[in-house]
Amino acid sequence: MNLSRLRPHIEITDMTETLQQLKPISQDIDARIANTLIKLQNNGKAQGTLYTVEKTLRRLAKHCNLLDPENVKHYIATAQTTITKQNPIQRPLDNATKNRAIQHYAHFCKANNITWERPYYQEVEKIVPTPTPDNVNAIINNASKSYATIFTILTEIGSNPKELSEITIDDIDQQKWTITITGKKRHLSGKYQLKPQAALMLKEYLETHKGQNPFPVSHAISQVWIDTKKRAAKKLSNPELLKIPLKNLRNYSASRVYLKSKNSFMAVMQHLRHRKYDTTAHYLRGFIATEENEGYETKMTKDENDVPTLQDNGYEYQFTTPQGTMVFKRRKPT
């Protein structure tokens, strides 16, 4: 199996170890990894999944014996990561990263008939504040014309890079300037109307990108975002830009809908094409965290008896979650 064909043309290198930096592994382990990828491919797994599974397995093989589950589990439990290049700081892997490594190793065990007791690490939900319009625009304004178009579209339609990269020219209505998205990662599909400025940018983009799939692969989009935000952060002396991953453009897009719809939960859920209320609620908690940083205080309650007191103290009702929690906010006292 030609493993190189499974890898995107551009690899993500932002503070991570690339495949080329890994030490050689034995032919036996290499063959077993290939066998794992073949079985995943035969079961319909996407190219991106094959890429990340291979990368994880090769990193594990650098440090431990993949044929010894206890050795692998010990390494994952104690492994550390470097979080900066200039002044290296080591810290333990977070539980979400450990669970991803366990999931990828589980594929290896299943493909190679290895019996093991799979561990699970309890994850703590991380609330990611929504990036501000100024910071998002600062990055986009430092991108090339083509990628400024791509990033602008992502801020409007809230798709992830994978969904955008798989759009065909037939999914773009060049009369009404709508884009039809086929859902990935359990998202529903949907259609989006572009604003006039984004429509004009896309029209000019398509004049020079005439293929059936006009947008780059998702890894290329991610890599250019990393390079662009680094360039913008250095040019503007704004290190906050470095903290904005590409996936947060989805949060940003949803936050614009949240404000435009006057805090409509269902409008956000429809825009993000979620199947579950809890998934949308996670995004809303991020919006609330951002509002608190921008001068608002938020209170939540399920008890209707608390409402008069909250209103007397200047809190305004915003929305009720599907679980019955009422959300109120007010500006922080000066």
251 near 131, Cβ under 8 Å? yes
Helix, strand, coil percentages (3-state) for the chain, rounded to 5, are: 55, 10, 35
pLDDT of residue 290: 61
Q: Is 49 a domain residue?
A: yes
Q: Is 294 a domain residue?
A: yes
Do 220 and 162 belong together in one domain?
Answer: yes
Q: Are strands 178-181 and 172-173 parallel, antiparallel or unpaired?
A: antiparallel
Domain boundary, last residue among 243, 276, 305: 243
Do 226 and 305 belong together in one domain?
Answer: no
Q: Is 116 a domain residue?
A: no
pLDDT of residue 322: 63
pLDDT of residue 47: 81
Do 13 and 86 belong together in one domain?
Answer: yes
> Amino acid letter at 311?
Q
Range of the domain at 267: 250-331
Number of domains in the chain: 3
285 near 329, Cβ under 8 Å? no
Rounded Cα distance between 79 and 93, Å, is 6
Dihedrals phi, psi of 122, to nearest 5 degrees: -70, 125
Q: Are strands 296-301 and 80-82 parallel, antiparallel or unpaired?
A: unpaired
Rounded Cα distance between 155 and 137, Å, is 10
C-alpha angle with apex 52: 19 to 282, nearest 5 degrees? 135
Q: Is 128 a domain residue?
A: no
Q: Left (φ > 0), alpha (ψ -120 to 50) or beta: where does 158 sit?
A: left
CATH code for the domain in which residue 212 is found: 1.10.443.10
Do 139 and 212 belong together in one domain?
Answer: yes
Q: Is 117 a domain residue?
A: no
C-alpha distances in angstroms, 259 versus 36, 81, 169, 262, 287? 46, 38, 31, 5, 10
Q: Is 122 a domain residue?
A: no
Per-residue pLDDT of the chain (334 residues; tens, 9 = 90+): 444 333 333 333 333 343 344 457 899 999 999 999 999 999 988 887 898 999 999 999 999 999 999 999 999 999 987 665 556 678 888 898 999 999 999 999 999 999 999 999 987 766 677 888 999 999 999 999 999 999 999 999 999 999 999 999 999 999 999 999 998 878 899 999 999 999 999 999 999 998 899 999 998 999 999 999 999 999 999 999 998 999 999 999 998 898 888 778 889 999 999 988 878 887 877 776 565 455 667 777 888 888 888 888 887 777 776 667 787 777 777 6
State whether residue 318 is helix, strand or coil: strand
Do 187 and 224 belong together in one domain?
Answer: yes
Q: Is 37 a domain residue?
A: yes
C-alpha of 35 from chain center: 28
What is the pTM assigned to this prediction?
0.66
Domain boundary, last residue among 243, 264, 284: 243
Do 214 and 284 belong together in one domain?
Answer: no
Rounded Cα distance between 310 and 316, Å, is 8
Name residues whose C-beta falls within 8 Å of residue 247's C-beta, 6 or more positions apart in sequence.
160
Do 140 and 234 belong together in one domain?
Answer: yes
Name residues whose C-beta falls within 8 Å of residue 114's C-beta, 6 or more positions apart in sequence.
67, 69, 108
Q: Is 291 a domain residue?
A: yes
pLDDT of residue 286: 72
